[in-house]
Chains A and B, each alone.
Chain A
Amino acid sequence: MKKMIKQHQEKSAKQKDSQAVPDGAIPTYLLDREGQQHAKILSNMVKQKRKEKAGKWTVPLPKVRGIAEDEMFKVIKTGKNRTKQWKRMVTKATFVGEGFTRKPPKYERFIRPMALRYKKAHVTHPELGATFYLPIISVKKNPQSPLYTQLGVITKGTVIEVNVSELGLVTTSGKVVWGKYAQVTNNPENDGCINAVLLV
């Protein structure tokens, strides 16, 4: 029985073709040098990664003014005697996602006023020198604090993701680029609009 099972297993198992010639022929002087190339690729990858990490921060506006919490938020007094002070109103421009529903007002800690919400930004392509009015997809990073990023606060220096599909940018593999990052260059709360530079 065992023998039979083994025979069946052998039948179904794919035999390695001993006659097959491997692809990717290389001349004798490159044989046995693959190991070195792998090592090279590895070290290059490490270098590339380091570069990328450093490159993340090379943006048009590398430094921004710090914004204190009391400038960012206005304290709202609640309660019958106006003694509770746990509510905050964001005093800067914000981006609120499309499908956002407010929490019940009783539990809402952060209020993002409708007047300061933005859906579109003026994005300049630095190489083309042209400006487009593009819809914002999300707030990628607010350099002030991760909390602001979460809230979608847009201040000067914030990296936002914009929808560039109408620009017709194409990746090296030929696909159309949809979202791209841009950095805000003005103070939206003062100006009433968002100006940004595309990061390329």
Chain B
Amino acid sequence: MATKGPPKLKPKSPNQEQIEENLGTVIAQLTSFDGETTGPPLSLPAGVTPEQLQLLINQLLNNDEPLPYAFSVDGREISTSLYKDIIQGLQKSTEDVLKIVYQPQAIFKVRAVTRCSSTLNGHKEPILSVSFSPDGAQLATGSGDTTIRIWDLNTETPHYTCSGHTGWVLYIAWSPDAKILASGSMDKTVRLWDPITGKPIGDPLKGHTQWITCLAWEPLHLNLKCNRLASSSKDGTIRIWDTTLRRVISTMSQHTAAVTCIKWGGNGLLYSSSRDKTIKVWDASQGKLVRTLEGHGHWVNTLALSTDFVLRTGAFDHTGKKPKDENEAQERALERYKAATENKPERLVSGSDDFTMFLWVPSESKKAIARLTGHQKLVNYTSFSPDGRLFASASFDNSVKLWDGFTGRFIASLRGHVGPVYQICWSSDSRLLISSSKDSTLKIWNLKTKKIKLDLPGHLDEVFSVDWSPGGDKVASGGKDCQLKIWRN
């Protein structure tokens, strides 16, 4: 006969409310993200929730209107209560002084898109790139049928068909003042379009000897006329064009293989990633090489700047106010840029075919802050959140991974796609993320819970490109099924 062990003691399970009451107190010090302390160390009930902390911090900071904040201890966010997430989750002693870091959140909220409001036919070949204008009022798509279409967003109907290219339109980019649309094509030329009339502005800009891979406009706060455009090509060169004089200002040709991605930073630097495994930082005004960032072991596919969103939207913000003239627009853009960076240098993240990413501060050093591993296939796309605190990476291993934008610490893996993830896009309040995949679906991820929020099926084939309007009310996606879909909440 087997001997019986002692009877198991039933764990005491008083009501949840009782626990909350009996937790006692914790000494906590609230600090801003920069490390400055706010107020004296406080004795808080251990079961304190983020909502209660929010009330407290708004009082401490003497805010006129209550602002939303996120709280974290040692990088772990408090989502339910201090006790559950920190003391139980991180096994912190209740006797130490907890340093609670608060970070302001966007004061507006973007509602997740839930339904497809229209499916627009028109393109005869796959749609390769979709882009909302910086003010969110216009939408353009570039397609394999050599045309660019500009769509009317109010009625969700086609507006203009811009034909002129003789090859696939690979990339389109809006100027920061939303007055010019630039397109790069397989036919080795860059063309400029007037989105108001749908007419081309002059002839194609010729010069590259291979197809155009990426375009980048100079940010509005550096140049109020918005007349400088950089284009990168498979031939390994980057050309900076003056769009009013229609000629090349400078040509940078130190890359030894195809340039895959370029970004124009907010402090006059131009970043380029290449298939020669390097990232180069250029002084855009003189066309000089500033430094070369080395570290990747294979093609570098993508770049993302922490200020991408603010540079893209320029003078336009969530309030929807239009600046009166160029000078005011530039002032506003500069203001927004300064508010976004808080006088800290821009951070750059690069994703590569060697399955890793690097986080750099390219304006200061050529040493990386962190090397981020975890993906099991190549990283195709990276994107910083509009507030610059997080970034997400899309990989061909069917996952999207979420990382801390300052340290590069891994936060979460968002799984759900059953095919390679092609592109991702953040909502402007940094609370949601949309991803497009080869499995013909779009998925919206909730970044508070780090879980899938919505699955948006509907496309008949691979979804090549997705864009969330800067205002946050619409998402547009296009892919191999030649249809443009507009999604709304």
Contact = CB atoms under 8 A, between A and B. Distances in A.
Contacts, number: 47
Interface in A18-53: 19, 21, 23-32
B422 A29 contact: yes
A27 B168 CA distance: 9
Interface residues of B, number: 26
A28 B171 contact: yes
Choose among B145, B168, B213, B234 the residue with the greatest number of A CB atoms under 10 Å from its CB.
B168
Given A19-B166, A21-B145, A26 B126 contact: yes
B465 interface: yes
Contacts of B129: 27
A32 B380 contact: no
A25 B125 contact: yes
Interface in A42-86: none
Nearest to B187: A21
Contacts of A21: 125, 144-146, 166-168
Contacts of A19: 166
A25 B143 contact: yes
Nearest to B165: A21
Nearest to B144: A25
B128 A25 contact: yes
Interface string B134-174: 00000000011110000000000000000000111011000
A26 B234 CA distance: 15
Interface string B297-332: 000011000000000000000000000000000000
Nearest to A21: B146
A52 B273 CA distance: 44
A15 to B, nearest CB: 17
A19 B146 CA distance: 11
B144 A24 contact: yes
Interface residues of A, number: 12
Choose among A27, A30, A32 the residue with the greatest number of B CB atoms under 10 Å from its CB.
A27
B214 interface: yes
B146 A28 contact: no
B258 interface: yes
Contacts of B422: 27, 29
Contacts of B168: 21, 25
B213 to A, nearest CB: 5
Contact of B380 (A23, A25, A29, A31): A29
B125 A23 contact: yes
Interface string B36-63: 0000000000000000000000000000
Contacts of A29: 260, 301-302, 380-381, 422
B102 interface: no
Contacts of B380: 29
Given A21-B145, A21-B166, A28 B213 contact: yes
A26 B142 CA distance: 11
B464 interface: yes
A30 B421 CA distance: 12
Interface string B194-222: 00000000000000000101100000000
Contacts of B146: 21
Given A21-B145, A21-B146, A32-B258, A27 B167 contact: no
B206 to A, nearest CB: 16
Interface in B378-417: 380-381
A29 B128 CA distance: 10
Contacts of B166: 19, 21
B430 to A, nearest CB: 24
Contacts of B465: 27
Contacts of B260: 28-29
A29 B465 CA distance: 11
B259 to A, nearest CB: 10
B144 A28 contact: no
A30 B299 CA distance: 13
A98 to B, nearest CB: 48
A27 to B, nearest CB: 5
Given A21-B166, A21-B167, A21-B168, A26 B145 contact: no
Contacts of A23: 125, 144
Contacts of A31: 170, 211, 234
Interface in B271-318: 301-302
Choose among A19, A23, A24, A28 the residue with the greatest number of B CB atoms under 10 Å from its CB.
A28
A31 B422 CA distance: 13
B435 to A, nearest CB: 14
Interface string A7-24: 000000000000101011
A39 to B, nearest CB: 14
6 contacts: A21-B145, A24-B144, A25-B128, A26-B126, A27-B464, A31-B234
Given A24-B144, A26-B126, A26-B144, 11 more contacts: A21-B144, A21-B145, A23-B144, A24-B126, A26-B464, A27-B464, A28-B170, A28-B171, A28-B211, A29-B302, A31-B170
9 nearest CB pairs, A to B: A25-B144, A25-B168, A27-B128, A25-B126, A27-B464, A28-B213, A25-B125, A28-B170, A21-B146
